[in-house]
Amino acid sequence: MRRYLVIVALLSGCGLVPKEQPCEFVTSVGGIAVDPPQASPSGVTLPVRADVSGLQTISNKPTALNSIMECSLTRARVQGREILVTISTSLLRDGGSSRCPPAKLGRPAAGRYTVLYGSTRENARPIGVVDVAL
């Protein structure tokens, strides 16, 4: 049974190593949205609302279901006044969650930022605007 689950997981695109997901995947599982950044002693985090299970509508109605996948990582990169965000998924493990964790922004300058989903500016899609206040 365990071997069967591993084979199914590898064939379905989620494995043991986190895999960065394209915007089309995020759209298929219900979309993504961001909430206002949170300041902490270690820097600023960006709360992200995304659930890779496909059971929740975030910014659009889901068209895919994933019962064995977790959202293992949310990455963010600040470029000028833009924040590029991506999520990575892997095989669901004990303690894992289909909901995506917040992204770490480090210590960006205060101001307004456009948040985009994608690893490069060329393929990114807008998902929101946030204000960073330190």
Q: Domain locations in the chain? A: 2-132
What predicted TM-score, i.e. pTM, was given to this entire model? 0.85
- What's the confidence (pLDDT) of residue 41? 87
- The residues near 53 (Cβ < 8 Å, ≥ 6 apart) are 29, 65, 66, 67, 69, 98
Mean pLDDT taken over the chain: 90
Q: What is the pLDDT of residues 89-104, one digit of tens each?
A: 999 998 899 999 999 9
- What's the confidence (pLDDT) of residue 9? 46
Residue 82 burial by Cβ neighbours in a 10 Å radius (0-12, 13-18, 19+): middle
The answer on pLDDT for 15 being more than 50 is: yes
Range in 12-16, 29-33, 44-48 the model is least confident about? 12-16
- What's the confidence (pLDDT) of residue 21? 97
- What's the confidence (pLDDT) of residue 29? 97
Q: Which residues pair with 117 in a beta bridge?
A: 85, 125
Phi, psi of 127 (to 5 degrees): -125, -5
